[in-house]
Amino acid sequence: MDGRTVDVTIDTPGIAGIDPKARILVPEGWSKDAARTWPVLYVLSGGPDTYTIWSDKTDIEETAAGDDVIVVMPDSGKGGGFVDWYNGGKGGDPKWETFHTKELSQLVERNFRGGTSRAIMGLSSGGSGALMYATRNPGFYKYVASYSGIAHITKPGIPTIMLLSDVIDGSTENPNPYGKLGDPLWDRWNWLEHDPYVNASTLRGTGVYLSSGTTGLVGELDLTLPEVIEEKNGDAVEVVKAYAAGSISEKLIGMTNEDLAARLKAMNIPATVHLYGNGLHSWPWWNREYKLAWPLIMKALNG
C-alpha cells in the first residue's frame, strides 16, 4: 500500500466462507532480510467490521510510526465471535481462534520477521476476543488491552443478550447464533472455557488494560444529536438504534468490566482499569483509550 503498509490475503482451510485479509504496518528500518525480529501488536476489530476499520477510524498508522513494532490488523469475519465454532459439538469451520493465534502469528513470524514478543488489543467484540485469546493462551501475549469488550460472558443475562445481538444485527453473516459457543445452558462448559472472568487467573504475568463506560449515558466525546442525524442521513430508525444500542450495550459491558476488574484485584493480578462513567459504545472513546494504553503496550513489548 505504501512504504510501511502491506495488505495480505490468507488462504486458510479453517475459514471456508472468505479468505481473510490483514493489514500489516512495519516500522522504519524494517527489512524482510534482517537478522533481527520485531515485537508484534495484534489489533482486533469489532462486530461486522473489516480489517481496514482501524485505519479508517483512527490514526493508528501515525501512532505506530515512531515505535519499533509490527502492527497486524486482521479480518475477524462478520460477527465471527473470535472462537473456533462449536457447531453442535462437531467443531469445524470457522476457526477464528486458530487463525488469529496460530496461523496468522506463524505467517507474521515466518514472512515478516515478527518475533515472539506479542501483545493484543481490540474494541467491542474484538476487546472480548483479545481477553479470550490472552486467557486461553497463557503467556502467549505480554499485554492485552480491551476497549468496551464483554469481559464476563457467562454473567447472568449476558449470554441471552449476545445471542439476541447476533439474531437482530442483520450486518452479521451468522445463520445460527448457537454455532459459536453452543447453548449457554446445555453447553455451559464451553462458555465457561471462553469466559475471561472465569479464567482470569491465567492473566497473571500478562499486562492488562481494561476500559469502558459504565452508565450508558452520553459523554463529552459522543456525537451530538444533529451530528448523529447527519451521519445516519436523517434515518430516524438508524438514529434511535445508534443511541439505544450505544447506551444499553455500553452499560452492560461496563458491568462485566467491573466484574473482571474486581476479580483481578482480589487475585492480586495487576491491571490498568479505566472505567470512565458516561460514554456510549462509540469510536471517539476507543480512539482515546487505545492511545492511553499505547505506551503501556509498547513498554511491555520492548521489555
In this predicted model, what pLDDT tens digit does every residue of 256-290 receive, in sequence order? Answer: 999 999 999 999 999 999 999 999 999 999 999 99
Cα 107 from chain centroid (whole Å):
20
C-alpha torsion 79→83→85→89, nearest 10: -140
List of residues 6+ apart from 132 with CB closer than 8 A: 82, 83, 97, 194, 196
pLDDT at 298: 98
CATH number at residue 206: 3.40.50.1820
Whether residue 96 contacts residue 84, with contact meaning beta carbons closer than 8 Å, is answered with: yes
pTM over 0.85: yes
Whether 144 and 205 have beta carbons less than 8 Å apart is answered as no
Q: And the C-alpha cell for 104?
A: 496468522
Number of domains within the chain: 1
89 contact partners, CB below 8 Å, separation of at least 6: 182, 187
Give the domain extent around 82: 5-302
pLDDT computed for residue 236 by the predictor:
83
Residue 278's CB: how many other CB atoms inside 10 A? 16
Query: Per the structure block, which three cell numbers stand in for 294?
Result: 499505547
| Distance (Å, whole) CA 3 – CA 24 | 11
| Each residue's pLDDT tens digit, 75-119 | 999 888 999 999 999 999 999 999 999 999 999 999 999 999 999
Burial class (CB in 10 A: 0-12, 13-18, 19+), 94: buried
Average pLDDT over residues 207-219: 96
